[in-house]
């Protein structure tokens, strides 16, 4: 099948040809005819499958047909997605696909001043792409008119559920016409999601491109068993030992952990940037741009901040901290191996993560292969001991002056470097003051 066989407007087809897409992805081939017909659709698809174009191309085609150059404009398509990055990405895609049309678009998300966004909303742009929080805030303050909305798109609905956005969406829904088309996309399907689809959609058609909760075939998934205290050292070792890891996304559990990891990598001369919820919109944008252009080799992110990030050529995803929810494993590794390109997903598994690993393996329906990093010095002593023997062994080792893994040479080295870096940051003034005291 090619794009010409799908019910798309010729000006949209021209833009698609400019994007270099030669044929529709499976979700596009299945969803485009249904969306074009006006049906409510549940799309179960991971990011990387081409799902954004699957809903934007037919929706834009319909608007082009119906839009006269000078007519009064109203918001007719409302797209809600969980994070600012995803909203910006969807918006950029739409700008590209709509470049031969006169359709107007606007974005709404938090973290920046709202003046421009309010002006856009009130001017009745044809398409709005928004995060739920800021949208609700503006709607509550009486901005925008959603009486003419024809299609509502809820993208990454599973993540919106995880992030507690569903009540906000319910409130926004009250402002929309009862009769409208609703498109609902989710990477995973479970009973909670199914309940939501019943609440939000009307006789929907299901479009599913991969097995439920399956990971893309193009990703080579590997497990590295390692003790917690050696994870940073192992990450540096992997980055040092292969040039193939040149666009690497690393996932850490906490904002602080993300920052600490970036500091540690920088100290080893590895270019790295962090993105997490406490960084400003500008900082996040810059970090992402530097990663996309190859200026920065490693992007360290938390789950929430990384959601929906679309960087074409992520060579490796490294789960430095094991994902808290099994589903997050699928979201994370979906950052690589996108649109048919091969990718590698490495997961660090510490003894404490073994049960969570079993859950992930059950979810994806396969046992993940275990690998050992060549040339890496694993702390064997701690590895071989049963957990109940470890405190005793540590005492003995302390007496003997040997290493059980707790206070590895590396940890000391790292602690020293961290102290030195902090002292440098404080600058000579403070240390001089301290000396005087």
Binding site for ligand AMP (CB under 6 A): 21, 24-25, 28, 47-53, 310, 312, 338-339
Return the H-helix or E-strand segment holding 229. none
> Which residue lies nearer to ligand AMP by CB, 54 or 238?
54
> Which residue lies nearer to ligand AMP by CB, 158 or 225?
158
Least separation in angstroms between CB 360 and ligand AMP: 22
Q: Which whole-number Å values give the CA distances from 194 to 11, 30, 179, in the listed order? A: 36, 20, 21
Least separation in angstroms between CB 250 and ligand AMP: 20
> Which residue lies nearer to ligand AMP by CB, 1 or 119?
1
> Which residue lies nearer to ligand AMP by CB, 48 or 343?
48
Please tell me the distance from the alpha carbon of residue 379 to that of residue 227, in angstroms, as a whole number: 8
Least separation in angstroms between CB 115 and ligand AMP: 30
Least separation in angstroms between CB 47 and ligand AMP: 4
Please tell me the distance from the alpha carbon of residue 156 to that of residue 160, in angstroms, as a whole number: 6
Dihedral-angle region of residue 20 (phi above 0 means left; psi in -120 to 50 means alpha; beta otherwise): left
- Please name the residue that has the structure tokens 């909670």: 192
Least separation in angstroms between CB 51 and ligand AMP: 5
> Which residue lies nearer to ligand AMP by CB, 28 or 258?
28
Least separation in angstroms between CB 246 and ligand AMP: 18
Closest CA relative to residue 50, chosen from 71, 78, 30, 72:
30
Least separation in angstroms between CB 28 and ligand AMP: 6
Please tell me the distance from the alpha carbon of residue 188 to that of residue 156, in angstroms, as a whole number: 9
Least separation in angstroms between CB 96 and ligand AMP: 9
Closest CA relative to residue 364, chosen from 337, 316, 327:
327
Least separation in angstroms between CB 273 and ligand AMP: 21
> Which residue lies nearer to ligand AMP by CB, 187 or 346?
187
The 10 Å Cβ neighbour count of residue 124 is 17
Q: Where are the beta strands (DSSP E) in 166-324?
A: 181-186, 205-208, 219-225, 248-251, 272-275, 298-301, 316-319
Least separation in angstroms between CB 284 and ligand AMP: 18
> Which residue lies nearer to ligand AMP by CB, 146 or 251?
251
> Which residue lies nearer to ligand AMP by CB, 19 or 242?
19
Q: Which whole-number Å values give the CA distances from 186 to 44, 190, 193, 344, in the listed order? A: 5, 10, 8, 23
> Which residue lies nearer to ligand AMP by CB, 27 or 63?
27
Closest CA relative to residue 126, chosen from 172, 57, 80, 72:
72
Mark 394-420 as b/e (b = at least 16 C-beta within 10 Å): beebeeeeebbbbebebbeebeeeeee
> Which residue lies nearer to ligand AMP by CB, 10 or 312?
312
Phi, psi of 383 (to 5 degrees): -60, -40
Q: Where does 38-182 have alpha helices with state H? A: 51-66, 84-97, 115-122, 132-140, 157-162, 166-173
């Amino acid at each position: 099948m090619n794009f010409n066989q799908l019910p798309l407007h010729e000006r949209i087809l021209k833009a698609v040809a400019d994007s270099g897409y030669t044929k529709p992805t499976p979700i596009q081939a299945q969803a485009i005819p249904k969306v074009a017909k006006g049906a409510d659709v549940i799309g179960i698809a991971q990011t990387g499958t081409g799902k954004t174009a699957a809903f934007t191309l037919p929706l834009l085609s319909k608007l082009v047909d119906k839009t006269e150059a000078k007519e009064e404009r109203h918001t007719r398509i409302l797209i809600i997605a969980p994070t600012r990055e995803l909203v910006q990405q969807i918006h950029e895609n739409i700008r590209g696909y709509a470049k031969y049309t006169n359709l107007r678009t606007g974005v709404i998300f938090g973290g920046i001043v709202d003046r421009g966004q309010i002006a856009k909303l009130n001017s009745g742009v044809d398409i709005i792409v928004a995060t739920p929080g800021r949208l609700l805030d503006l709607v509550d303050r009486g901005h925008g008119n959603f009486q003419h909305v024809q299609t509502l798109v809820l993208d990454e609905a599973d993540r919106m559920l995880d992030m507690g956005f569903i009540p906000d969406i319910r409130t926004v829904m009250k402002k929309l016409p009862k009769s409208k088309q609703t498109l609902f996309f989710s990477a995973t399907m479970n009973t909670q999601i199914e309940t939501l689809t019943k609440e939000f959609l009307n006789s929907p058609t299901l479009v599913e491109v991969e097995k439920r909760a399956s990971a893309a075939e193009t990703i080579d998934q590997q497990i590295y068993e390692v003790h917690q205290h050696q994870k940073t050292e192992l990450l540096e070792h992997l980055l040092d030992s292969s040039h193939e890891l040149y666009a690497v996304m690393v996932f850490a559990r906490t904002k602080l952990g993300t920052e600490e990891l970036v500091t540690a990598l920088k100290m080893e001369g590895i270019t790295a940037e962090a993105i997490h919820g406490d960084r400003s919109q500008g900082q996040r944008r810059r970090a992402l741009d530097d990663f996309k252009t190859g200026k920065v080799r490693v992007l360290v992110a938390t789950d929430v901040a990384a959601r929906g990030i679309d960087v074409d050529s992520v060579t490796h995803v490294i789960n430095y901290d094991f994902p808290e929810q099994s589903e997050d494993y699928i979201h994370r590794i979906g950052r690589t191996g996108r649109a048919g390109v091969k990718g590698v997903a490495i997961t660090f598994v510490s003894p404490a993560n073994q049960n969570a690993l079993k859950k992930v393996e059950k979810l994806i329906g396969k046992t993940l292969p275990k690998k050992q990093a060549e040339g890496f010095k694993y702390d064997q002593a701690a590895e071989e001991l049963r957990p109940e023997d470890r405190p005793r062994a540590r005492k003995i080792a302390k007496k003997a002056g040997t290493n059980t893994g707790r206070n590895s040479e590396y940890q000391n080295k790292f602690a020293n470097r961290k102290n030195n870096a902090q002292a440098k940051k404080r600058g000579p003034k403070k240390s001089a003051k301290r000396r005087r005291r």
